[in-house]
């Protein structure tokens, strides 16, 4: 197989994640899942694992599944442990001659199921070194239950548990840096990506994560039209603005080596990302300029640190 | 072959003989020794199980669910708060119809923290869809564990099985025990060949759907039917087990019940103490008897009613406090089971032994004394009481 990415060739592969699922129009999760699974080699099997999430309830509503591969969902906080269990069974059954062929193990969890309630299970699975990929599709709040704040929700974002009022100004804390936490596990591969353009970045990192032996982690920004409050057709544009403002830098850490995979030609002001989204609307009220300034200062500081780390 | 083993070592030895595909391992007193012994078997190459050292009991059960769904035989052991942490997933395991085997070494639930025996942990999980089988001693702990897979894996059942033994009293005390030869065990257990599993090449499988109200109830009814079907299968497996071991098991054990007028119903190691008390009372001419519940889920209601039909007074002894303000869980089940009898015995409930509070033959004799008095006078007195706690005056 040529290592040069070619979208046309990739989309000619048999579909592993079918249409007909019940995710919203303009949702990032579906294109993230199809983008990740497309990186699997045509002839190989996978077992897909899900945390309870929008994705789970929308793609496996009895008796219909959107997955052509085997799939298991068990609970909200245990998808990494669940993936561990399938991988352990594979090793045991393979050793005993009861399973043949290569099987890959890929878990999808939302940010609630990954940054928050599933963090322990994820940390345990990464520590034990299972040969698996954990993909967080990060839409920055508990969307399945109706847009509640998670530790991934960015500063100032309006959610139903961080509402904007006469005193409240959205979320008080900054977004947790989960990718760094995963890097600190010294796993062979961790990366941040997003569904962009020809999906080259998502595809390349997915391929690396799937075909690097050991536990690998992908944090994929996954815009949500309901929670972020943008028109459905703006999905691609919002994702692009997240990376061009450096709100969501694209990078990878391979065996401890940090590498930026995208540097915007012109780093856009953070307000370009904030403005199209209803969850940040209050930041543009007169008198709230300080919020945008704070948000910009935070992004700048994180970006500078990332440039240092990656030696740019 | 004869040996001297603790209850934990007996279960670990059964596990070695079975050589399961996957084990989720996490320590908690008093079940810790089971994964410890097993780890040594792994280290010595005596088994080739995938031994997964998880970071919590929650992940232990998650690993077992996933491994069993993937087509493997999965096992784990836990106690007390560990079982409580698994609580959500016990339901997932049962509803996915995955015959995982869990060795529960019974220990009091926290609040205040206590490491000693009572049944509050497994009683809290009694309605989770797991088959529950309780042991009186080390021999039964070993035997029950060997019977668990043939019961749970039967297509008409396909439910997870929890084998329970009393923490420390059974798990740590060393007793003489008869072990089966490993090849006999392997033949008895057989191969696990599920019809559908995640790793099956020919036919991918999806497990754990979002189940809307137009399907959920059907699935729950199927699960309930499986639990009903388990009763016959438990007896069948017991009959097969008798052929290889010479040891006979039922849904419960009746001890000197043939003509008993006064009877106890209880679970676990206290049965040994109660048998000694019954023997003593029998020598004194008291028609005392004991029913030791072995299988709590499925609950042998009809059979128990028949066993107690001829008695005059029954004391149900619960080693867990259910906080229902109406008696413990074994009492609720037993009293309900006896409702349809034409001539019901008088019944009382005694909650005892919480957090490892000792119970001896004199305590049991006192209970029989109460029953004798009730049978003679027809005066029940308080139905639901506690036994073995210090009085307010003693505490002062």
pLDDT band at A284 (very low <50, low <70, confident <90, very high): very high
Give tens-digit pLDDT for A122-160. 999 999 999 999 999 999 999 999 999 999 999 999 999
Domain-by-domain residue ranges, chain B?
A: 2-245, 252-395
Cβ atoms within 10 Å, residue B44: 9
In what helix (H) or strand (E) does residue B347 lie, and over which residues does it extend? strand B346-352
CB contact under 8 A, B206 and A81: no
pLDDT at B224 over 60: yes
* Average pLDDT of the residues of chain B: 97
Residue B284 has pLDDT above 60, yes or no: yes
Q: CA B321, CA A175: separation in Å to the nearest integer?
A: 45
Tell me what the pLDDT averaged over chain A comes to: 97
Q: For residue B65, which residues of chain A lie inside 8 Å, CB to CB?
A: 74, 82, 85
**Shortest Cα distance, chain A CAs vs residue B27, angstroms:** 15
CB contact under 8 A, A128 and B53: yes
Question: Which positions in chain B touch A98 (Cβ < 8 Å)?
Answer: 71
Residue B178 parent element (H or E): strand B174-178
Percent of chain A with pLDDT over 70: 99
Q: Specify whether the CB–CB gap between B132 and B294 falls below 8 A.
A: no
Provide the H-helix boundaries in chain A. 7-11, 28-37, 54-59, 79-95, 111, 119-128, 178-183, 200-211, 235-244, 270-274, 289-310
* pLDDT for res A312: 86
| A3 has pLDDT over 80 | no
What integer is the mean pLDDT of A111-120? 98
Alpha-carbon distances, residue A307 vs A189, A217, A260, A262 (angstroms)? 19, 21, 8, 11
Interface test with B, best of A17, A81, A93, A107 (most B CBs within 10 A): A81
The shortest C-alpha distance from B10 to chain A (Å) reads 24
- Residue in A14, A70, A79, A80 to test binding to B, most B beta-carbons within 10 Å: A70
* A72–B62 CB contact, under 8 Å: no
CB–CB contact A70 B205 (8 Å): yes
Distance between A130 CA and the closest CA of chain B, angstroms: 10
**In whole angstroms, what separates CA B125 from the centre of its chain?**
11
First-to-last C-alpha distance (Å) of chain A: 31
Confidence label for B393 from pLDDT (cuts 50, 70 and 90): confident
Residues of chain B above pLDDT 90, percent: 98
DSSP string of B108-140?
PPSSS---S--SHHHHHTTTSS-EEEE-SSHHH
The neighbour count for residue A265, using CB atoms within 10 Å, is 5
Q: Which residues of A touch B68 (CB under 8 A)?
A: 89
**Cross-chain Cβ contact A96/B66 below 8 Å:** no
> Which among B26, B62, B75 is the top mutation candidate for probing chain A, defined by the most A β-carbons within 10 Å of its own β-carbon?
B62
Tokens of B289: 């008897």
Nearest-CA distance from A110 to chain B in Å? 16
Using the beta-carbon criterion (under 8 Å), do A77 and B58 form an inter-chain contact?
yes
By Cβ distance, the residue of A75, A77, A88 closest to B67 is A88
For residue A2, pLDDT beyond 90? no
Of B22, B198, B211, the CB nearest to A47: B198
Whether residue A93 and residue B71 make contact (CB cut-off 8 A), yes or no, is: yes
Pairwise CA distance, residues A229 & A244, whole Å: 20
DSSP state of A23: P
CA-to-CA dists, residue B295 to A126, B130, B152, angstroms: 39, 11, 13
Taking only the tens place, the pLDDT of each residue in A216-231 is 999 999 999 999 999 9
Find chain B residues with C-beta within 8 A of A65's C-beta.
206, 209
pLDDT digits (tens, 9 = 90+) for B111-124: 999 999 999 999 99
Residues of chain B positioned with their CB less than 8 A from the CB of A78: 58-59, 62, 89
In chain A, the percentage of residues whose pLDDT exceeds 90 is: 98
Q: Which of B210, B213, B217, B222 to mutate to test the interface with A (most CBs of A within 10 A)?
A: B210
- Tell me the chain B residues in contact with residue A45 when contact means C-beta distances shorter than 8 Å: 201, 204
Query: How many C-beta neighbours within 10 Å does residue A281 have?
Result: 15
Query: Higher confidence at residue B396 or residue A260?
Result: A260
pLDDT of residue B196: 97
pLDDT at residue B396, rounded to an integer:
63
Question: In chain A, what are the domain boundaries?
Answer: 7-310
Q: How confident is the model at residue B392 (pLDDT cuts 50, 70, 90)?
A: confident
Q: Quick check: A124 and B48 CB within 8 A?
A: no
Q: Give the closest of A78, A92, A128 to B72, CB-based.
A: A92
Q: What is the model's pLDDT at position B391? A: 87
Enumerate the residues of chain A whose CB falls inside 8 A of the CB of residue B66: 49, 72, 74, 81-86, 88-89
CATH fold of B252-395 reads Rossmann fold (3.40.50)
User: Which ranges in B26-133 belong to alpha helices (H)?
Assistant: 33-43, 57-69, 80-95, 120-124
Model pLDDT for residues B339-355, shown as the tens digit of each residue: 999 999 999 999 999 99
- At A164-190, the pLDDT tens digits run 999 999 999 999 999 999 999 999 999
Task: State how far residue A104 is from chain B, nearest Cα, in angstroms.
Answer: 11
Q: Which helix (H) or strand (E) holds B238?
A: helix B216-245
Question: What's the CATH architecture for A7-310?
Answer: 3-Layer(aba) Sandwich (3.40)
Contact A248, A274 (CB under 8 A): no
Contact pairs from chain A to chain B, CB under 8 Å: 164
Percent of chain B with pLDDT over 70: 99
Contact yes or no for A77/A142 (Cβ under 8 A): no
Is a pLDDT exceeding 80 seen at residue B236?
Answer: yes
Does position A39 have pLDDT exceeding 70, yes or no? Answer: yes
Nearest CB partner across the interface for B22, out of A65, A92, A101:
A92
CATH superfamily of B2-245: Thiamin diphosphate (ThDP)-binding fold, Pyr/PP domains (3.40.50.970)
């Amino acid at each position: 197989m040529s290592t040069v990415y070619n979208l046309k060739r990739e989309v000619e592969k048999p579909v592993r994640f079918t249409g007909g699922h019940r995710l919203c129009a303009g949702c990032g999760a579906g294109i993230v899942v199809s983008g990740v699974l497309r990186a699997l080699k045509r002839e190989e099997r996978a077992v897909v694992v899900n945390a309870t999430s929008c994705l789970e309830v929308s793609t496996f509503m009895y008796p219909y599944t959107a997955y052509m591969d085997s799939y298991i969902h068990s609970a909200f906080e245990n998808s990494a442990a669940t993936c561990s269990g399938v991988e352990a069974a594979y090793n045991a059954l393979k050793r005993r001659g009861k399973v043949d062929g290569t099987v890959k193990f890929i878990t999808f969890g939302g940010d609630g199921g990954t940054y928050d309630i599933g963090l322990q299970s994820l940390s345990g699975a990464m520590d034990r070194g299972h040969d698996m990929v954990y993909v967080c599709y990060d839409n920055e709040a508990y969307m399945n239950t109706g847009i509640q704040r998670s530790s991934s929700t960015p500063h100032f974002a309006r959610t139903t548990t961080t509402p904007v009022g006469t005193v409240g100004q959205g979320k008080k804390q900054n977004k947790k840096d989960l990718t760094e936490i995963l890097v600190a596990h010294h796993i062979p591969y961790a990366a941040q990506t997003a569904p962009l353009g020809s999906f080259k970045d998502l595809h390349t990192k997915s391929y690396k994560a799937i075909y690097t032996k050991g536990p690998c982690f992908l944090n994929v920004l996954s815009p949500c039209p309901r929670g972020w409050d943008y028109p459905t057709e703006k999905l691609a544009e919002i994702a692009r603005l997240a990376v061009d403002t450096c709100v969501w830098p694209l990078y990878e850490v391979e065996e401890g080596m940090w590498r930026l995979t995208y540097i915007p030609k012109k780093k856009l002001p953070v307000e370009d990302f904030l403005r199209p989204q209803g969850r940040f609307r209050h930041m543009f009220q007169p008198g709230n300029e300080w919020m945008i300034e704070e948000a910009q200062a935070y992004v700048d500081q994180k970006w500078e640190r990332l440039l240092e780390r990656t030696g740019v | 072959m004869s040996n001297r083993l603790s209850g934990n070592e007996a279960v670990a030895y059964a596990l070695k003989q079975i050589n399961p595909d996957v084990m989720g391992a996490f320590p908690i007193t008093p079940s810790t020794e089971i994964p410890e012994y097993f780890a040594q078997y792994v280290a010595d190459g005596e088994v080739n199980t995938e031994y997964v050292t998880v970071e919590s009991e929650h992940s232990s059960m998650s690993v077992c669910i996933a491994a069993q769904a993937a087509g493997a035989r999965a096992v784990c052991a836990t106690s007390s708060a560990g079982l409580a942490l698994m609580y959500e997933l016990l339901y997932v395991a049962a509803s996915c119809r995955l015959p995982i085997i869990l060795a529960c070494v019974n220990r009091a639930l926290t609040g205040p923290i206590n490491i000693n025996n009572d049944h509050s942990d497994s009683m809290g999980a009694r309605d989770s869809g797991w088959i529950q089988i309780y042991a009186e001693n080390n021999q039964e702990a070993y035997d029950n564990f060997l019977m668990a897979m043939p019961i749970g894996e039967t297509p008409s059942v396909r439910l997870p099985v929890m084998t329970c033994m009393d923490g420390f009293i059974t798990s740590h005390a060393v007793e003489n025990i008869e072990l089966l030869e490993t090849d006999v065990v392997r033949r008895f257990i057989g191969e696990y060949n599920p019809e559908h599993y995640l790793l099956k090449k020919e036919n991918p499988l999806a497990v754990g759907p979002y189940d809307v109200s137009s399907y959920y109830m059907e699935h729950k009814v199927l699960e309930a039917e499986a639990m009903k079907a388990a009763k016959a299968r438990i007896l069948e497996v017991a009959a097969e087990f008798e052929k290889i071991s010479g040891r006979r098991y039922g849904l419960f054990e009746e001890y000197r019940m043939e003509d008993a007028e006064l009877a106890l119903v209880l679970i676990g190691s206290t049965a040994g103490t109660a048998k000694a008390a019954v023997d003593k009372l029998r020598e004194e001419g008291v028609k005392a008897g004991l029913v030791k519940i072995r299988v709590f889920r499925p609950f042998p209601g009809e059979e128990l009613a028949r066993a107690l039909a001829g008695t005059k007074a029954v004391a149900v002894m619960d080693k867990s406090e259910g906080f229902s303000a109406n008696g413990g869980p074994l009492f609720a089940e037993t009293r309900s089971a006896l409702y349809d009898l034409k001539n019901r015995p008088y019944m009382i409930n005694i909650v005892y032994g919480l957090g490892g509070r000792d119970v001896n033959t004199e305590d049991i004799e006192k209970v029989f004394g109460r029953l004798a008095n009730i049978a003679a006078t027809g005066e029940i007195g308080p139905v639901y009481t506690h036994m073995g706690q210090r009085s307010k005056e003693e505490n002062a």
